[in-house]
Amino acid sequence: MPEPIEVRKVPLHTVTDASELVRLIDDGVLDADRVVAVIGKTEGNGGVNDYTRILADRAFREALVAKGTRSAEEVKRVPIVWSGGTDGVISPHATIFATLPREQAAPSDEPRLTVGFAMSEELLPEDIGRTAMITKVAAAVTEAMQRAGITDVADVHYVQTKTPLLTIDTIRDAKRRGHDVFTEDTLTSMDVSNGGTALGVAVALGEIEMPRDEDVLRDRTLYSSVASCSSGVELDRAQVVVVGNARGIGGRYRIGHSVMSDALDQDGIWAAIRDAGLELPERPHHTDLDGRLVNVFLKCETSQDGQVRGRRNAMLDDSDVHWHRQIKACVGGVTAAVTGDPAVFVSVSAAHQGPDGGGPVAAIVDLGA
């Protein structure tokens, strides 16, 4: 049986700032050696060359080494997933997950938050966006579920992944070995990597049957309702964090999920918060949350038809500002209006993650002792 989870959201005062993590450890809220995952937003461009992710990652890992007893090599294995780009009002922050000794958590037979982690087999450049990637990711999701103590896929509400995208060097490596790649556009490869990974999540959770290579980025009816996939240059395999609920572990937190049907779907966000266990009025306001919402985690995507609710927009035709940044700022604003807090996890490139033009939403709430 996994141990109960403590989860806290902290701001990043600079891109290399881990002071709020250190404060939680010094105050006894978290034990550095018990931190099992971190999911956060950094302020870079969100693209292939967004090195703010590496800077933030280094700061958090150095803090965990300095404040705990684990070696740098051991801390290196802790999943820390950074999504780059805080366009619009989105504020840089991190959500930190740590286990608690059983005696420190109120026992409960009700569903309570649990977290599991796994790493896939190495993802070669030629795997990205193809069934080889889907298969490797699906196996890692299954392993992470087992570590979280989740036996029913219905209890999985959020799967956060980080996978490699394609770079000039990895494309050359594939060619030297006689292979081709899905795309030679490195920025497009972010969508490819995220989409292929999401399909792997969907396969593992029984949301879809095994797709074909030609379905990736093309058949948008194939998607996961709980996958949140990011990619970058920091690793060469899929890093998978499964967040769900389990009975008997205790604790005060619970997670739920829903989907946004489009970029303006506030009801989809409220539905995820309700699914996590908060009772809300029919037409809720952010003041109804009363400090009980830890964080929300969303993926967003520009609709392939270039419209929102029947109205045309120019995001896909804009050569000055990539649509990644525009839709992220839009959905970030919608989300912050719901929660009353701009420190929300909104990530772009949601191919096969929720319906076309929409995206999955997960919410973690504090139900109290």
- 258 counts as catalytic: no
- 299 counts as catalytic: no
Identity at 299, one-letter amino acid code: K
Distance, CA of 132 to CA of 164 (rounded, Å): 14
Cβ–Cβ < 8 Å for 222, 192: no
Distance, CA of 29 to CA of 266 (rounded, Å): 32
Strands (E), 165-292: 227-232, 237-246, 253-260
Question: Which of 189, 193, 228, 230 is the catalytic position?
Answer: 230
Buried b (16+ CB within 10 A) or exposed e, 140-179: bbbbbbeebbbeeeebbbbbbbbbbbbbeebbeebeeeee
- Output Rg (C-alpha) for the chain, integer angstroms: 19
Cα 9 to chain center, whole Å?
Answer: 14
Q: Give the chain's end-to-end CA distance (angstroms, integer).
A: 20
Question: Which of 9, 136, 162, 328 is the catalytic position?
Answer: 162
Strands (E), 133-236: 156-164, 227-232
Q: How many residues does the chain have?
A: 369
Report the SS3 class of residue 240: strand
Cβ–Cβ < 8 Å for 128, 184: no
CA distances from 110 to 98, 124, 201 (A): 20, 42, 26
Distance, CA of 300 to CA of 353 (rounded, Å): 8
**E strand or H helix that includes residue 140:** helix 131-148
Distance, CA of 356 to CA of 24 (rounded, Å): 39
Longest CA pairwise span in the chain (Å): 60
**E strand or H helix that includes residue 199:** helix 188-204
CA distances from 310 to 306, 307, 317 (A): 9, 6, 17
Cβ–Cβ < 8 Å for 264, 359: no
**Residues known to be catalytic:** 162, 230
